[in-house]
Amino acid sequence: MEKFSPTRINLLFLNTQLSVSKSGAKLLRSKRDALMKDFFRCVGECLELRTKLNSQMRDATYSLHLAKAFLGDIIYSTAYASKRDISIDIKVKNIWGINIPEIEQKAFVRNIEARDISPIGEGSLVIETARGFEKVLEAIVTIASSEVRLKRVGEEIKADMRRINALEEIIMPSIQYGMKGIERVHEEREREDIYRLKRYKRRRQDKG
């Protein structure tokens, strides 16, 4: 820490710095506590979404194997015929000063008309298989947003903990040490002043 001249102005300055540091640490703790609540909520949400995704993936995969067993390789040509481009929109949401990218939710499950295939020619098994994987896609997009948020919140909690530790274990003790040093100098000066005053009085008395 920078050394200060042992003046009362510097003592007041250090005292102000200490108050600001304490307020900063308090605000950071409040922010950290709020982020911790959001973090654990996100953990529960991600676990639930993962369970849902695994279930949908199993169902879609089962439908695919079933369709392939009945239709053979024709299912691949059907998939190629109904392929499409997927676009996603990402917006940035600010939470406690953290910019978190969030994928905008949209419906990926298409109706029969949008598939550009004949339900009579292809059969319901193919359509249900396609629908199952579209549901999987929706689940992946949803969980991606939640897991990105979980990661960013976790990183910010770690950063806040480092800031709090720096304030409470380095900066504040250093300021307090500097204040005590200035206070000791002033106490010594006061004792010297009292000693000089007493000696002056004794000399006056001796002369009188």
Could you please state the CATH topology (level 3) that the domain comprising 8-207 is classified under: Helix Hairpins (1.10.287)
Summarize pLDDT for 108-163 with one digit per residue, the tens: 777 766 666 555 545 677 778 888 888 898 899 889 889 999 999 999 999 999 99
Question: In the chain, how long is the greatest CA-to-CA distance?
Answer: 129
What is the distance between the alpha carbons of residues 129 and 79, in angstroms, rounded to a whole number? 10
Residue 117: the pLDDT is 57
Taking the chain (208 residues) in consecutive chunks of 10 residues, what is each chunk's mean pLDDT? 73 90 93 93 93 92 85 71 75 84 80 60 72 88 90 93 94 90 83 76 70
CB atoms within 10 A of CB 25: 18
Give helix then strand counts, H and E, for the chain: 6, 2
